[in-house]
Chains A and B, each alone.
Chain A
């Protein structure tokens, strides 16, 4: 659990982060969104003390983050940034081994960890381990950057626009990878982005920042139903709201009893994708299959339209 307690950061007279109090629950993904200059990057850089707050405290699992030397603190917290920040003179394997090496792990343990992570990120350890970062594609570099952040098995991972430099297709893939890896390790993730689509796709909870203040902190659904300020409403985008509503829930949540013609869709698909499939195929209902292949019911156009309407 990470607790921000009245955290303020001032540079001379400019207030960058203003009196932020926020609690991040363990094993969840919290996405901080806001426009440039809203203070979101400053806020997460204060967690691993790359920036020291002017006032207030940040506690990690109840312990003030100033209670240990900063380099020790940072070795316990994963850190991934935009443009990956890989060391160009070190191989992929050496890059991933950075923190374990700093922590003085045994060589065999480091080697095993590097191989485990590369495999997890669908990179062949024998092929990619000895390569230099410039030999990799942008998407591969980004994956290595995240693998490096996770190498010492941190409970907490900070990500500063980690997917900002990727093209849309690779970005979507990277986001899905992140979700499955978060499930795998149960890591608490705080991620900064200005991309609302990304925020709604990844977040358990979203914190919206504006001019250094957190103006709303809640689940994606809460944010859609009750935007706290006109700024939040604008950020979400009025025309996108019904689609975002559908995007945060799965087809399984919208299953109605009954049968329908045609090929079934998996229950894990988002309702937005189910709607898209209905519209494109010109039908009014589709069967829904569970993970084991059994048909559990149908989703209908009418049902989804009702779900997309503003809740009362």
Chain B
């Protein structure tokens, strides 16, 4: 009989709509991060580094990039004879065919997958956080407490606690109560969305709530467990953990990597982060280039200036161009004498010559002021930006744009050019 002590279920189906055009065509876990990686690399690497070799990745929204990235799991050593990584999309059933309607519903629909491995414990992860964590230590904690559910929590400043699900614990770490995004938080222990369930408790609560609409861990499963006398414990985690759910936090987390000694250090031998590296060759820095405070991915060719930026693999930055405080993802091309200030440029973008990105004063975005904020200009993947245009702050562009899309050759701050497809 196949037996795995703990398996992981990684929720990677969400759109992450707060990342705007970055997730227009890819699921959030597949968004590039840190000049080389994709967000899902962090939980996947944590799994294998923690000795978990069976991971189900639940996909739903725009899974193509995610599927090609994961493949059979070779980069993470998750190509196993028994176990390994399995991509789990929603599927048709003889009755009740449905999409994944909630986090717990998605897990419930894959009961058969989990049962194959006869796990004692199931680790529930989400694919949108940047952190290094040893899940085995968390499992030890879970076992020591004879817990039914252990929730990884992070102490946050109390004034920020109202953005999170907050756990109220007794002196032993047992959770008595929790509040979802409370106005007046009674604790500063924020849930990180990482749970270890004892298999029995998980199975029981999923079955009990199988008819619950949009069944969600935070909203339904955890309250059910609490109300039915299960032992819920908070596992306090004090390392680096970053939710990259908004353009602002995504930008910040990237920028933190370029500090001289970053808090989140990718250069340690210990606890490596693995990814599918399809570009191997070194990067070339020309005689005219000037670079400082930046990280640059493999195979990029830099002829211009790069300051304070994160540049992905196979990016070409031409002569006379200045990139500042920006993120440029793989395969993008930036023409000559272009100035880019505080922008996120997604994959495979072509930007012409003499373009200025990030000019003028900030103005709220006309379409989604909550999403396109922080003064960042966001350019979606496969976008083409013509030569000579000026683009303001809090802007969003996607699709093949031409001069006609820029009245007076300009997209003022807060403007949007979108929904034009690259075909």
Real binding pair: no
